[in-house]
Chains A and B, each alone.
Chain A
Amino acid sequence: MSGLTKKIVALAGMSAFVAGNAVAADLTVVSWGGAYTKSQVEAYHKPWMAQSGHSIISEDYGGGIAEIKAQVESGNVTWDVVDVELSDAIRACDEGLLEEIDHSTLPAAPDGTPAVDDFLPGTLHDCAVANIVWSSVYVYDSSKVRNWNAPKTMGDFFNTDAYPGKRGMRKSPKVTMEFALIADGVPVSEVYDVLGTEEGIERAFAKLDTIKDDVIWWEAGAQPPQLLADGEVIFTTAWNGRVFNAVAAEDQSFEMVWDGQIYDLDLWVIPKGSKNVEAALDFVRFSTATEQLANQASWISYGPARASSVPLIGTYHDNAAINMADHMPTAPGNFANALQNDFEFWADNQDDLNERFNAWLAQ
């Protein structure tokens, strides 16, 4: 029986700790993990905790609105603030899963410009406030000696004759199909018009067919730098901030190819029924202030969503030789041939293209 008694004692101890834990957590902030979450912890969480006296539990997730939907519909909302992609923010808002955020309560720029004028166009939505502009690009490892010329264009990514080897791509039609069309010669301004037609979809898949046997599909943002560092692939598509982090913090010699980059927003949303709406709103206001957004840019190369933050962007927190502004997706040298992700197109066609993409993968 002594074993049983021990168990019970242990159990009682455990539940005390579990309960203690639940009380201590003031705000659960959910983001994409890795270097990106770290930049948010440094630039947003820590100063906010110091200022407000609340504590934050930081959680990682893999995107999508499944968890938010599950929590809201079960009435048991444990996430207070979530970092989501634009098309997901719009969809979740339409389905009534998010709290509305009053834009007039967002902090004004230091020079007094109201928030609604200071945020870049398209970055404020009924239920969501953008914090960063990020971009999908492709990368190669310049330290590995290979006998080819450095790739310059999106076309090179798909050119298996000149660049033989495995390629990493995100396992999702989003971005992948656009890249295929850009590589196939569609001007960035026409990509979504072409993709909106049956022939355009066929064309994208036909282009993808040419590299299908050479693709390793990744799903989480931390995977592509790993794949590249391990030598599993010669090229991989990736999120520019993750690549930058591998270069700046882990001394990898990765080179990004900015041609045909597709940029998108990450936004804060608050699931409807959050138990800490007031604190969550306060956190969103705090973190999207000019200074915080500019601060984050010293940790990772994602562009701030406010115009007034741009002049404040400094150098990398760890290395004054790296001027962060040069590494932003919006830096003039990088922005020459860029495409903005069309959230409405994806909101409409996501289900269908996902299905076709999966069918294509299974062939």
Chain B
Amino acid sequence: MAKLPPYTTTGERIWHYAFRFICGLIFLFLILPVLIVLPLSFNVEPYFSFTPGMLSLDPEAFSLRWYKDIFRNGMAAPDAPFDMAWLADTWNNAQWMRAIRNSFFIGICATLLSTALGTLAAIGLSRSEMPYRRLVMSILISPMIVPLVITAAGMFFFYSKIQLSQTYLGVIMAHAVLGTPFVIITVTATLVGFDKSLVRAANSLGAGPIQTFFKVQMPLIIPGVISGGLFAFITSFDEVVAVLFLASPEQRTIPRQMWSGIREQISPTILAVATLLVLLSIILLTVIELLRRRSERLRGITSS
């Protein structure tokens, strides 16, 4: 940590450390809830609190039973020997497995749709020639701002009329709309630092517009596109209101399954799933961070 300059008074010193202590507490407030689910998910008892056994680190007090439950709950024959039939059974029948499959399927489809459309739009919006830029931008960002209940209610009626409610396509479309603002924001942010003279340079060296796009523009904005896509994916992966209104049980996703779990019976299985989701977000966060660094490095070379 940075050393304090020699001229600081005692009062300032005290404040300096007090301030760091306060910040430490706030960081604890931020991170603690995310981390507390980890140990609790290994609880052998069906409770949400630390048992004396857990506190004394007794190995007997920890177990993987809630993780097993993710695979077993809903299976036709959970106690059958572990073989291909067991795997097929859990894949097809376990409630959580269905939710996990749905979440990934819907999330990936919605991400592809919103990333493709959002990237194109962001490129258009970043051009100064774009007419009504401000108005268009505010419309395209609005899905992030409008309360989800209103969005979901509106979609519920409209999608019902055109036979899209209670279908995969309906949920995917809803999630794609909700994800596009994030794509636009991140891709626009990469384009802001984009040096236009590069395009002109490419053109003057004889590259056509399409070649320029793929060879010059694309590599520079790709980190923004990917992190926008990841944002869109996590938005869909985390979304529950639209699913509550639009999806039938067939399209039940992980958050939807957690929602009914929390409202009905809080079993530590939810904590086990939560732990897996925390791991997933750590992975995604790492990817985003690496992309950001790469993007900074690339632009650091090009624009200075």
Do A and B touch, yes or no (CB under 8 Å, in the complex)? yes
* Residues of A in contact with B (beta carbons under 8 Å apart): 7, 10-11, 14-15, 17-18, 21-22, 24-25, 28, 30, 33-34, 57, 59-60, 62, 70-71, 73-76, 78-79, 219-223, 226
Which residue of A18, A73, A219, A220 contacts B160 across the interface (Cβ within 8 Å)? A73
CB distance from A255 to the nearest CB of B (A): 21
Residues of B within 8 A of A221 (CB): 264
CB distance from B248 to the nearest CB of A (A): 4
List B238-291 residues whose CB lies under 8 Å from chain A: 248-250, 260, 263-266
Q: Show 30 residue pairs from A and B whose CB-CB distance is below 8 angstroms, ordered by the A residue.
A: A7-B108, A10-B104, A11-B109, A14-B105, A15-B105, A18-B101, A18-B102, A18-B105, A18-B168, A22-B250, A25-B250, A33-B260, A33-B264, A34-B264, A34-B265, A57-B250, A59-B249, A60-B264, A70-B156, A71-B248, A73-B160, A74-B161, A74-B166, A75-B163, A76-B160, A76-B166, A76-B248, A78-B166, A78-B250, A220-B265
Task: Report whether A21 and B249 are in contact in the complex, using a CB–CB cutoff of 8 Å.
Answer: no
CB distance from B175 to the nearest CB of A (A): 15
Residues of B within 8 A of A79 (CB): 248
Residues of A within 8 A of B98 (CB): 21
Q: Is B90 an interface residue (CB 8 A)?
A: no
Known: A21-B92, A24-B92. A70 touches B264 (CB 8 A): no
Task: Report whether B249 and A78 are in contact in the complex, using a CB–CB cutoff of 8 Å.
Answer: yes
Point out which of A28, A62, A222 has the most chain B C-beta atoms below 10 A from its C-beta. A222
Task: Report whether B165 and A223 are in contact in the complex, using a CB–CB cutoff of 8 Å.
Answer: no
What 1/0 flags go to B124-165 for Cβ under 8 Å of A?
000000000000000000000000000000001001110101
* Residues of B in contact with A (beta carbons under 8 Å apart): 91-92, 98, 101-102, 104-105, 108-109, 112, 156, 159-161, 163, 165-168, 248-250, 260, 263-266
Q: How many A-B residue pairs have CB under 8 A?
A: 74
Task: Report whether A222 and B264 are in contact in the complex, using a CB–CB cutoff of 8 Å.
Answer: yes
Residues of B within 8 A of A226 (CB): 265-266
Tell me the bound Cα distance from A24 to B91 in angstroms: 13
CB distance from B182 to the nearest CB of A (A): 18
Residues of A within 8 A of B104 (CB): 10, 14
When C-beta atoms are compared, the residue in chain A nearest to B74 turns out to be A58
Residues of A within 8 A of B166 (CB): 70-71, 74, 76, 78
The 10 A-B pairs at the shortest CB distance, nearest first, are namely A74-B160, A220-B264, A14-B105, A59-B249, A222-B265, A78-B248, A222-B264, A76-B166, A74-B165, A220-B263
Task: Report whether B165 and A70 are in contact in the complex, using a CB–CB cutoff of 8 Å.
Answer: yes
Tell me the bound Cα distance from A320 to B103 in angstroms: 44
Tell me the bound Cα distance from A262 to B266 in angstroms: 27
Tell me the bound Cα distance from A60 to B261 in angstroms: 11
When C-beta atoms are compared, the residue in chain A nearest to B260 turns out to be A60
Tell me the bound Cα distance from A266 to B189 in angstroms: 57
Residues of B within 8 A of A71 (CB): 166, 248
Known: A74-B161, A78-B248, A226-B266. A14 touches B108 (CB 8 A): yes
Tell me the bound Cα distance from A125 to B92 in angstroms: 37
Tell me the bound Cα distance from A10 to B163 in angstroms: 27
Tell me the bound Cα distance from A11 to B108 in angstroms: 8
CB distance from B221 to the nearest CB of A (A): 16
When C-beta atoms are compared, the residue in chain A nearest to B165 turns out to be A74
CB distance from A245 to the nearest CB of B (A): 12
Residues of B within 8 A of A24 (CB): 92
Known: A14-B104, A14-B108. A28 touches B161 (CB 8 A): no
Residues of A within 8 A of B109 (CB): 11
Tell me the bound Cα distance from A17 to B108 in angstroms: 15
Task: Report whether A14 and B249 are in contact in the complex, using a CB–CB cutoff of 8 Å.
Answer: no
When C-beta atoms are compared, the residue in chain B nearest to A225 turns out to be B265
Tell me the bound Cα distance from A220 to B55 in angstroms: 33
